[in-house]
Structure 1
Amino acid sequence: MRKFLWVSVFLLFSVLAACSNNNDSKKEEKDAAAQEEDEAPENTYPLTGETASGSIDQRVISVMVNNHSQARPQSGLSKADIVYEFLAEGYITRFLAVYHSDLPENVGPVRSARPYFYEVADGFDALYTYHGAANFINDDIEDSGVDYADGAHYDNDRELFKRTSDRQAPHNSYLITNGLEQLLQSKGYDTEMEIDPLLFSNEMKAEGTSAQQVTVTYDEDETVTYTYDNQKEQYLRESDGEATVDAETNEQIALENVFIVAASHEVIDDEGRRDIDLKSGGKGYLLQNGEQIDVEWKNKDGRILPYKDGKPLPFKPGQTWVNVIPEEPGIVSVNEKGGDTSAD
């Protein structure tokens, strides 16, 4: 009987010890999980997919940026999450620079509006910032309901827009971003907004072909070239054979994603203004990691996005440049070779 009692006591302590060890183990697992959760990034920027070092609910700001040869080099392009490049008049392109994760002090030169630019801005609920427009375009912008800031109303007030003396108008208007918060508040626009994120992945989700250098030809004298830098794992941009650099930093524009979109273009007046169909979808090319993926583009809630076999393709985390080109002739040349273009 006494032997049985000692055995029972021993078994009881063994069970209690096992439970204690099991609880300690679970506690350690919970503590480790909590530590990992603390170390993991809480937020990512919705338009770059990169870890957020600051707020992610600030308003998206979009700016019409001049790309005339007399407007180069531009200021602020290297900080844009996304840049859209469209033909504006003749064969000269303009940019819509979209800012959310980083906002430089100055952006420009700022140029006049076009309808397809503010359509893209509206897809991000962005403030659409431009400098002047034809009366019918201004009327369309006001009727569209998009939040906007026309630099022609603030010309040279030195708080929101400024004119520089180093260039001639219309190539010398710059947005001063420090004045944006006051502008948003004065016009009753939202200063904070939850932004639906784009789709991002560090892994390519479709097979591509080698594309070390890709040239988009808008005209004989208007070309854009992207050359893949194997060391940086980015595409470096050139315009008309010269590196595209940011005037503020002297840095060459370097991108994780290049998205080339073919869309229907129609010239609508003697000034060479165009109507561009951004609704119907069509053929496109997505450049990532030195490879080109043939895709279809679709407009989803105002955003131009790449699809493959009916499924959305993610962007690589980082910055993106979107070149919209005419379906005809839609000239894009690809050099499969190339290699490291980084400076020594």
Structure 2
Amino acid sequence: MKKLTMLALLTSTLLMGGCWGEKETKIEKDSVQEAKGQTYKFPLTGKRVEERPEQRAVAVVINNHPQARPQTGLAAADVVYEVLVEGDMTRFLAIYQSEQPKEVGPVRSARDYFIDLAKGYDSLFIAHGYSPEAKERLFSGEIDQINGIQHDNTIFMRDASRKAPHNSYIQFDKMYEQAEINGYKMKGMPDRLNFLKSSDAIAGAEQKAPSVQINYSSKPAFQVEYKYDADKKEYERFVGEEQQVDRETKKAVSAANILIIEAEHRVTDGEGRLDINLSSGGNAYLLQNGVVHTAEWSNVDGRILPFKDGAPMGFVKGKTWINIIPASKGLNKMVTLRNN
């Protein structure tokens, strides 16, 4: 993976400081406008809303085993990370803020890198189970969390039509009740992402990208494709050549922004568990509005964000999916961009 030199790091830091300062000023202006009675915006999608969206973000680890599909509530998440776990399979961390579905799942066990990603949004962290490393961090009080190990068949309900561990679902109303019992604050929206006008997102793009394929695994069940719908201005998600939809609503899983990054992966034990370097930065693709930008990514206060020549890039309004692939294989080998 491309390493940043000290000079580049210093330059990036200076640029980031200036640009993020501009972002904060824009947010302050938005706040003034909101105070004058104009509509508010959801912090993670940029979409307008009539009431101030004060709810805290909730991060849920969601199962992506073929026996867990189709998932429930996945289409409602504002931001979704897709990350490898042991067994050459992927798992999701879904961040909810603008929508609170009735039920989400199947919920799966935590890994320490999921905790790191959830902290970037000051989220309440939801999982069912944990690796030894994740368990130690969760029980240290590092993050507010509710886990299915302690709340099986109460807050986390089992679906009899599916086999464990692919049948645990979190009930959001019961989750909020437990959060209150635990003394967790559920007010306080996360910091806003940086959003662009749709027309600005096309400027500087390298090529059209109506579809992109990500080969996480030689197994067809973990070969992902996003296809751009020009009418919706969103990328719809396909897995193993089948369109991914919500189990309950039948709504297509889609996103306005697709960020694909490469990060160093290292096997840490005999079970095949991974350590993933989410702090050093590296190469990335950002797909928006049917075009692709070559970019770099950086970790900014726990969030994986795109940069171009050291300057932060913005997202278009809507949902965002972030796909993390091993740097040892790289974008050129694992990702196929199609321009027709």
Give the TM-score, by structure 1 length. Answer: 0.84
Q: Deviations over 1:174-224 (max 9, x none)?
A: 000011222111111112114210000122174111111100011111211
Q: 2:320 aligned with 1:317, yes or no?
A: no
Q: Secondary structure at the match of 2:40?
A: coil
Q: 3-state DSSP class of the match of 2:72?
A: coil
Question: Displacement of 1:38 after TM fit?
Answer: 9.6
Match of 1:138 in 2: 135
| Secondary structure, aligned partner of 2:160 | coil
CA contact (8 A) 1:265 1:277 kept: yes
**Cα distance in 2, alignment partners of residues 256 and 290 from structure 1:** 9
63, 73, 85: which one pairs with 2:82?
85
Q: 1:335 maps to which residue?
A: 338
1:247-326 to 2 correspondences below 5 Å: 247-326=247-326
Task: Give me the whole-angstrom Cα distance separating, in 1, the residues matched to 2:237 and 2:38.
Answer: 30
Contact 2:60 2:95 in 1 (8 A): yes
Which has the higher Rg, Structure 1 or Structure 2?
1
Q: Give 1:39 deviation, angstroms.
A: 9.7
What is the identity, as a one-letter code, of the residue corresponding to 2:164? A
Matched, 1:215 2:210: no
> Where in structure 2 are there 5+ consecutive unaligned residues?
1-32
SS at match of 1:236: strand
Q: Which residue is 2:22 aligned to?
A: none
2:59 is aligned to 62
Cα distance in 2 for partners of 1:187, 1:58 equals 17
Q: CA RMSD of the aligned region, Å? A: 1.7
Equivalent residues, number? 300
Checking the alignment, whether the CA contact within 8 Å between 1:49 and 1:200 is kept in structure 2 is: yes
1:1-344 → structure 2 map (5 Å cutoff): 41-143=38-140, 145-157=142-154, 160-202=155-197, 203-204=200-201, 206-208=203-205, 209-221=207-219, 222-330=222-330, 331-337=334-340
Residues 34 and 40 in structure 2, CA contact (< 8 A), matched pair in contact too = no
Fraction of identical pairs, as percent: 42
Distance 1:269 1:38 in 2: 53
Deviations 1:68-126 (A, max 9, x none): 00000000011100110000112110000100000100000000000111100001110
Gap runs ≥5 in structure 1: 1-35, 338-344
After TM superposition, the structure 1 stretch with the greater mean CA deviation from structure 2, 48-57 or 257-266, is 48-57
CA shift for structure 1 position 134: 3.1
What secondary structure does 2:236 align onto? strand
Deviation at 1:41, TM superposition (A): 3.7
Which fold has the larger relative contact order, with Cα–Cα distance below 8 Å and residues 6 or more apart in sequence? 2
Specify whether residues 44 and 242 from structure 1 end up closer, same or farther in structure 2 by C-alpha distance, changes over 3 A only. same
